[in-house]
Amino acid sequence: MAFGIGMVLAPGLTRQGFALLVYADAGRLSGFGVEAVAYIALAHAVLGAVMFGWGAALLLVVLGPFSRGAREGWWIVAVSVSAWFVPDTAFSLWSGFWQNAVLNIVFVALFAAPLAATFRGFHQFHQRPV
């Protein structure tokens, strides 16, 4: 949520961060022209707002069904993260922006570690009596 709202509230810093990530030059996007920079700022703000909203929804799931041990809580988090990670990372790689795929791997690890650690607790496998 902090990353998402940061994209909305600090558009210059966001633009510089992504320019550094993708082009290894924090000022590179500024050279795209005023109109393009304004559009990039809009795209970053929209993405940041969506990430903030998604984070709020995940927070409510984690504080609600997940914390109560409801299997649906675990699945909501897992499916939501997968639904973001797979297409975002695939398109990043397909379009040649592998740096974003690397950033995605860092973020998905923040979700994957607790999901893996809690998998057994949410998915009790019972053997059938013989």
CA–CA distance, 73 with 105 (Å, rounded to integer): 22
Q: pLDDT tens-digit profile of 12-58?
A: 899 999 899 888 998 898 889 999 999 999 999 999 999 999 999 99
Residue 129 domain-assigned?
no
pLDDT in tens, 53-89: 999 999 999 999 999 999 999 999 999 999 999 999 9
Question: Total structural domains in the chain?
Answer: 2
Domain that holds residue 118: 69-124
pLDDT at 103: 93
- Domain end position, chosen among 68, 94, 111: 68
Confidence (pLDDT) at 27:
87
pLDDT at 130 over 70: no
* Residue 12 forms part of a structural domain: yes
130 domain residue, yes or no: no
pLDDT at res. 124? 80
Domain membership of residue 112 (yes or no) is yes
Tokens coding 130:
């013989």
Same-domain check for residues 90 and 58? no
Residues 2 and 57 occupy one common structural domain: yes
| Residue 96 covered by a domain | yes
**Are residues 76 and 50 part of one domain?**
no
Q: Give me the DSSP letters along the chain.
A: -HHHHHHHH-HHHHHHHHHHHHHS-TTGGGGG-HHHHHHHHHHHHHHHHHHHHHHHHHHHHIIIIITTT-HHHHHHHHHHHHHHHHHHHHHHHHTT-HHHHHHHHHHHHHHHHHHHHHHHHH----PPP-
The structure's pTM equals 0.82
